[in-house]
């Protein structure tokens, strides 16, 4: 799609994040299965359910913008997921893998926070207030997921990994 206007840019960016979210729906169960920490597994499984809701919300956004729901390959997310896969293959100490998976998941969250922040701002600039509200709801979920991962890392997972790896 040729981007010639702010509206085109919004749709292009939405298609990118739509593809990113669909990739995450496939990747998160593998990440959850690879964890040793129950808290981390529960957080990833909870975010998987949120991510499914975010996909639905994006489909609502496409409807409100009267445009076809489809993704555009999100190479950034493909790269982030590939990094996580490599970690799962290479790191053999489960407690250290948990630390690495949190880092990988936080990279994903930060990418999503940046993406949703951008599309929120574009929707607001275009006067698409309902769209902006839907996107902002997802933005807040992504920020909360990042905070939860940080809390799990600091209160539990990092300390456990340090004891095992010492």
Which tokens go with 50?
Answer: 């949120």
Query: What residue segments make up the domains of the chain, in order of their start?
Result: 6-165
pLDDT of residue 166: 61
Per-residue confidence band for 25, with pLDDT thresholds at 50, 70 and 90: very high
Helix (H) or strand (E) holding 76: helix 75-90
pLDDT of residue 71: 86
Per-residue confidence band for 61, with pLDDT thresholds at 50, 70 and 90: very high
pTM for the full model?
Answer: 0.93
pLDDT of residue 164: 84
* Mean predicted confidence (pLDDT) in 85-90: 95
pLDDT of residue 2: 83
| DSSP codes of every residue in 86-126 | HHHHH---HHHHHHHHHHHHHHHHHHHHHHHHHHHHHHHHT
Average pLDDT of the chain is 95
CATH of domain 6-165: 1.20.1260.10
pLDDT of residue 74: 93
User: Tens digit of pLDDT for each residue in 106-149?
Assistant: 999 999 999 999 999 999 999 999 999 999 999 999 999 999 99
* Mean predicted confidence (pLDDT) in 75-82: 96
Q: CB atoms < 10 A from the CB of 88, how many?
A: 17
pLDDT above 90: percentage of residues in the chain: 92
pLDDT of residue 115: 97
pLDDT of residue 1: 63
């Amino acid at each position: 799609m040729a981007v010639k206007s702010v509206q085109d840019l919004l749709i292009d960016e939405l298609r990118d994040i739509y593809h990113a979210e669909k990739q995450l729906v496939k990747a998160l169960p593998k990440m959850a299965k690879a964890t040793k920490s129950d808290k981390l597994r529960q957080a990833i499984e909870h975010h998987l359910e949120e991510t499914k809701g975010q996909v639905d919300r994006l489909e609502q956004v496409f409807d409100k913008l009267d445009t076809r729901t489809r993704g555009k390959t999100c190479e950034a997310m493909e790269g982030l997921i590939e990094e996580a896969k490599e970690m799962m293959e290479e790191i053999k100490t489960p407690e250290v893998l948990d630390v690495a998976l949190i880092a990988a998941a936080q990279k994903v969250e930060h990418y999503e926070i940046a993406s949703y922040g951008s599309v929120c701002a574009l929707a607001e600039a275009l006067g698409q207030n309902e769209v902006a509200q839907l996107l902002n709801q997802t933005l807040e979920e992504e920020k909360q997921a990042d905070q939860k991962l940080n809390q799990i890392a600091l209160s539990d997972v990092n300390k456990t990994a340090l004891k095992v790896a010492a």
